[in-house]
């Protein structure tokens, strides 16, 4: 048998709670060939010496035993141990049990000094030891057991939720019921336990309770209720003392595109202009957007002679000054990023004075003749004659007062 230093366990319990210790003669002493002391208290904190101490300075082979003492902390606590151990790694173990004798952990090998183990999710601990049929080492020294007691906490967690559009990240408007929510729950008392979320604000929590510690979750997929309008999502957060609190956020769902109207005036006179008719003045086109959901964000337009351009200039007014036929194409976008189908209006401008010349008079007449663009006639005679011209409008026609004039 290999000799080793005496096995000693000492326990110091901190915080304001003192673990309740029930001492019983350990079954380990028989296998060790020695006896155990019952422990003693000293100092401002309870300190228990000699618990599990093997008096022959070594632990034997083929040992399976329970160490004396069941250590209990206040309800709701977790427990940590401060231990130094040196056992045959993988073969000899310090065994840690809860109050129901369920194994929580096997500790084996060399700790290299005193270290903390745990916390264990129980308020009651028991200890045992196992060795196999060969090779023994120094053993272990359990120096301290600590109760980790949650602080008194009656305050719900701090919490917030933010709804945002998946594409734009907007927290005010979305054109898709499938959105993201960002969740934040924090607790400075007992700490966070879990959260859940309700995308439709109907009391049905789609997620169920989600366990967490930091309880921050970003870009959580959420589907809002159908139909345009203001939508609400809510969350609930619970701490480890089961204090619960809720938070909600709203966003406007808008799936309808805006509508843009166009009107026009002649400039500089200010007179009304009807699209697709000719004007001998510049034409100013004014665009006006309306949207019953999220509201108008911007209006874009373009002009060309082929009615094919893509609106790209932002604005609500454009003046057409070039002669000819011009197409004004336009559309608007709302705050939920719905884009209107492109509209088109036709503007015709002709500010150039026409020219013409009289080419002939269709009948011989002794009282009328043409010279350039002027018709000369005799005021002493009566009758009729025909003038043929090269354009639809006469540029210069002087001194005609005949009873009949056929164009």
pLDDT in tens, 34-73: 333 333 333 333 333 334 443 334 677 888 877 766 778 7
Distance CA 5, CA 237 (A): 52
What integer pLDDT is reported at residue 56 of this predicted model?
A: 35
Q: What is the mean pLDDT of the chain?
A: 79
Among 162-166, 333-337, 380-384, the minimum mean pLDDT is found in 380-384
Spatial CA neighbour of 171 closest among 253, 241, 111, 90: 253
Share of the chain above pLDDT 90, in %: 51
Q: Using DSSP, how many helices (H) and how many strands (E) does the chain show?
A: 1, 33
pLDDT for 365-402, tens place per residue? Answer: 666 666 665 666 666 666 666 666 554 444 444 333 33
Q: Quote the pLDDT of residue 31.
A: 34
Encoding tokens for residue 144?
């301290």
On the 0-12 / 13-18 / 19+ scale of CB atoms within 10 A, 58 is: buried
For the beta carbon of residue 145, count every other beta carbon within 10 angstroms: 26
Q: Please report the domains of the chain, with CATH numbers, ordered by start residue.
A: 8-148 (2.60.120), 158-253 (2.60.40.10), 259-349 (2.60.40.10), 358-406 (no CATH)
Query: How many CB atoms lie under 10 A from the CB of residue 401?
Result: 7
pLDDT digits (tens, 9 = 90+) for 349-363: 999 987 655 555 444
List CB contacts of 82: < 8 A, sequence separation 6 or more: 12, 114, 115, 116, 117, 142, 143, 144, 145, 146
Q: Which two tokens stand for residue 203?
A: 């009391």
pLDDT given for residue 359 in this prediction: 56
Asked if residue 268 has a cis previous peptide bond (ω within 30° of 0), the answer is: yes
Residue scoring higher pLDDT (308 or 17): 308
17 pLDDT exceeds 90?
A: no
Radius of gyration over every alpha carbon of the chain, rounded to an integer in angstroms: 48
């Amino acid at each position: 048998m290999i000799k080793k230093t005496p096995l000693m366990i000492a326990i110091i319990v901190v915080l304001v709670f003192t673990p309740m210790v029930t001492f019983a003669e350990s079954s380990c002493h028989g296998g060790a060939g020695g006896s155990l002391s019952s422990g003693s208290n000293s100092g401002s904190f309870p300190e228990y010496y000699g618990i599990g101490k093997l008096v022959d300075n070594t632990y034997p082979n083929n040992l399976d035993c329970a160490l004396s003492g069941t250590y209990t902390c206040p309800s709701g606590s977790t427990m940590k141990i401060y231990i130094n151990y040196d056992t045959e790694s993988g073969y000899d173990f310090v065994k840690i049990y809860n109050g129901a004798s369920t194994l929580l952990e096997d500790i084996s090998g060399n700790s290299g000094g005193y270290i903390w183990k745990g916390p264990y999710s129980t308020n009651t601990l028991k200890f045992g030891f196992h060795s196999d049929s060969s090779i023994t080492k120094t053993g272990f020294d359990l120096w301290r057991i600590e109760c980790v007691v949650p602080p008194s906490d009656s305050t719900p967690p701090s919490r917030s939720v933010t709804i945002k559009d998946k594409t734009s990240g907007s927290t005010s408007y979305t054109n898709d019921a499938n959105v993201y929510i960002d969740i934040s729950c924090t607790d400075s008392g007992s700490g966070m336990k879990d959260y859940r979320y309700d995308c439709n604000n109907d009391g049905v929590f789609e997620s169920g309770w989600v366990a967490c510690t930091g309880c921050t979750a970003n870009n959580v997929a959420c589907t809002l209720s159908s139909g345009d309008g203001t939508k609400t999502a809510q969350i609930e957060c619970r701490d480890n003392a089961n204090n619960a609190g809720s938070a909600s956020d709203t966003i406007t769902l808008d799936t309808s595109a805006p509508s843009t109207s166009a009107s026009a005036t002649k400039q500089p006179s200010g007179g009304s202009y009807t699209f697709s008719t000719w004007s001998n003045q510049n034409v100013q086109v004014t665009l006006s957007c309306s949207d019953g959901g999220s509201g108008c964000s911007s209006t874009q337009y373009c002009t060309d002679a082929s009615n094919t351009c893509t609106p790209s200039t932002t604005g609500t007014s454009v003046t057409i000054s070039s002669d000819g036929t011009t197409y004004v194409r336009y559309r608007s976008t709302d705050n939920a990023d719905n884009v209107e189908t492109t509209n088109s209006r036709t503007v015709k401008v002709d500010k150039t004075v026409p020219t013409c010349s009289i080419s002939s008079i269709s009948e011989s007449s002794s009282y009328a003749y043409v010279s350039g663009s002027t018709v000369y006639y005799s005021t002493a005679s009566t009758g009729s004659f025909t003038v043929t011209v090269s354009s639809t409008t006469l540029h210069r026609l002087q001194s005609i007062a005949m009873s009949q004039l056929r164009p």
